[in-house]
Amino acid sequence: MIYDVCIIGSGAGAAPVAHDLSNAGFKVIVLEKGPWYNEDDFTKDEVAVSRRNLYTPLLKDEQHVINERLEDGTTKRYVGSEYNWSFWNGSMVGGSSNLMSGYFHRMKPNDFKLRTVFGDIKGANVADWPIDYDLLEPYYDKVEKVVGVSGSVVKHPFAEPRSSKNFPYRRLEENKVTRWFDIACKNLGYHSIPTPRAILPVDALKRHACSYSNFCGSYGCATGAKGSARAALLNQCKAQILSEVFVYKLESNKTKITGVYYYDKKFKSHYVAAAIFVVAAQAIESSRLLLNSRNRYFPNGMANNAGQVGKNLIFSAGGAGEGRFIFESLSRQQQEELMQPGLFFNRSLQDWYEYREEGVKRKGGTIDFLFEHANIISRTTRQFYDDTGKILWGVALQDKIYKAVTASRVLTFEVFNDWLPTDDCYVSVDDKVKDKYGIPVGVIHLNAHKDDLIVGEYLAKKAVTVLQKMGAVDISYSISSSPPPNLVAGGCRFGDDANTSVLDVNCKAHELENLYVTDASFMPTGGSVPYTWTIYANAFRVAEAIHRHLKRARVQ
C-alpha cells in the first residue's frame, strides 16, 4: 500500500498534519516510537512518572551524547547513560504534549524579525523568519478553537494582535493567592496576565473538563482536558497510528523520498511507501534521522547537501526561582487560601518582552508564576540540607519537613528568553555510541551565548520584586546555560535561502520534493515563550500546504 502521507512522530508537530489531512480524506499513517497510552492509563503515580521516568526510554537502551562547550573553549563529552543525562521527554503517542503544563503564549510580531528589529548580535546566528506574525495568526487562532485554549485577554504593553476578541474557553479556576499577586503587580506598576492554558475548563471538543487534580505538569491528563496532540487531535482523526515502531532510515532517489524503514518492538524491519513524508520526531531526533539517512545522492544525510541539517539548535534560555510563604506572617484566612489544593496559579508577566538597559535595546521575555509542583516526595527531598548546605537527618530533618510542607507553600517562577542560535550549538550523530537498534545516537553540541544569561538575570530580578512585594521569604533563583530538554527547537531551519536553511517557507526540504519537517526543528529563533502553541500553529499551516501539494499531485 502506498500512503498519501507518512508521518514520523506523533507530537505537537505531527498531529495537526495527521488530523487535518486524514479528516480531509487522505490516507495518512503515523509512526510513533513510544507506546499508546490513553486517559485510563494516566494515574498520578509519582514514583512511576516522576521518580522513575516511566514515559522516557531507559538510557542504557537509547541515549544521547552531549558535547558541552566550556568557558575556556574546550569541549567535554558526556555519554548520557554514564552521566544519567537525559534529553528525552514523552516517548508515547502524542509525545511530550501529553505531559506539558500547557502554558500557552503566542510569539510576538517582533519575534518573527529579530534580526531586523534588534540587529546582528556578535557570535549569534539570528535570522528573521520567512513568514510574519500576521501570516501565522489565523493558525494560532485555530489552535485556540481546535486544541482548546482557556484564558482571558487583558491589555498589556506587549499584547499581540488577535483576530478573535477573546479565548474560546473561560479561565480555569484560580487559587486566591493570585489576588495577592495582582495587587503586588498593580502596586509595582506591572501588568499581571492570566496565563492562557491548553486546558479545558468545561466539557467540550469531545473531551472532559479539567478535574483540578493538583497534578498537571509531567503527568498525563486523565480527563482529556489537557490539549495534548493525542487527546485533541489524534483521537479525533482517521489516520492510521502505529505505536512502538522506530523509524531508522529514510530512503530516497535524487529528488524524492521513496520510503522509510522502521523496526517494530521485536526488532523486525518494515518498509512504508508514501507520496509525502513528514518528519516530526522532536527537534534533536528529527535531525538525527536525517543525518543517519545517507545515500549516494545525500552522502551527508538526507536534505543535507548544503550542510545545514542539525545546525542552529536552540533551547529556551532562562531559569527558575521561588519564594516561600510561611504561616507565621499570614492571617488564618490567608493560610487557608494559600493551602487550597487543586486550583491553578495562572499568572505571567511580559512587561519586559523588550527592554532597554544601559542604552542597549534588548529582547527580553516571559515570566510564568506557578505553585511548586504538588509531588510530595520531591517536596520532602528538597529539605535534606540546611542553610549552610549540610545534610540533615533525624529529628531535625523530620521537623524541617513537617514545617515546610504543612505550614508554608512555595510560589515558583520560570523565565523564558531567547536562546541565541550559535555555530557551536547543533546536532550530529556519534560514530561510536549506538542505541538498542544499532543506530548511531544523536550528539547534542551545547553552547549558550553570553547574552542569554544577561537577559535571564534581568528578568529573574524583576520576578523577585514581585515575590518580595507579596511577602515571600527564602527567595532565590537560578539562571544558567543548562538547556531544558523539554524546550528544544531548531536544527532544520526554514528560510528562503537554500544555502543557509534546510526547509523552505512551507517547511518542505529545499533539496527534496516530498519531505516536510513540522516539529520545532523549523524555528530559526524560538521567541521568549514556550514553543508548543507555535509548533501546533505552524503544523496546521504546513498541513494546508501539504494539502495543496497532494491536490496538485492528483491533478497531474
Residues that bind other proteins (CB under 8 A): 42-48, 51-54, 58-60, 81, 84, 211, 213-215, 219, 222, 341, 374, 376-377, 380-381, 384, 390-391, 393-395, 397-398, 401-402, 405-406
Nearer to other proteins, 267 or 402 (CB): 402
Rounded to whole angstroms, the Cα distance separating 149 from 170 reads 9
Nearer to other proteins, 99 or 276 (CB): 99
Nearer to other proteins, 212 or 261 (CB): 212
Q: How far is the CB of 376 from other proteins (least distance, A)?
A: 5
Element (H, E) at 489: strand 488-491
Sheet with 65-69, side-by-side order of all strands: 75-79, 65-69, 440-446, 426-434
Nearer to other proteins, 57 or 471 (CB): 57
Tell me, rounded to whole angstroms, the distance of Cα 244 from its chain centroid. 22
Q: How far is the CB of 406 from other proteins (least distance, A)?
A: 5
Rounded to whole angstroms, the Cα distance separating 105 from 341 reads 25
Rounded to whole angstroms, the Cα distance separating 413 from 463 reads 7
Tally DSSP H helices, then E strands, for the chain.
13, 20
Yes or no: say if 416 and 534 are a contact pair by the CB < 8 Å rule.
Answer: no
Q: How far is the CB of 315 from other proteins (least distance, A)?
A: 26
Q: How far is the CB of 265 from other proteins (least distance, A)?
A: 16
Nearer to other proteins, 267 or 384 (CB): 384
Q: How far is residue 505 from each of residues 492, 494, 498, 501, measured CA to CA in Å?
A: 12, 6, 11, 10
Nearer to other proteins, 59 or 542 (CB): 59
Rounded to whole angstroms, the Cα distance separating 541 from 532 reads 14
Q: How far is the CB of 198 from other proteins (least distance, A)?
A: 19
Rounded to whole angstroms, the Cα distance separating 36 from 13 reads 17
Q: For the chain, what's the residue count?
A: 556
Q: How far is the CB of 52 from other proteins (least distance, A)?
A: 4
For residue 178, the tally of other CB atoms under 10 A from its CB is 19
Q: Rounded to the nearest 5°, which phi and psi values hold at 410? A: -100, 130
Bridge partners of 156?
none
Nearer to other proteins, 18 or 93 (CB): 93
Q: How far is the CB of 322 from other proteins (least distance, A)?
A: 19
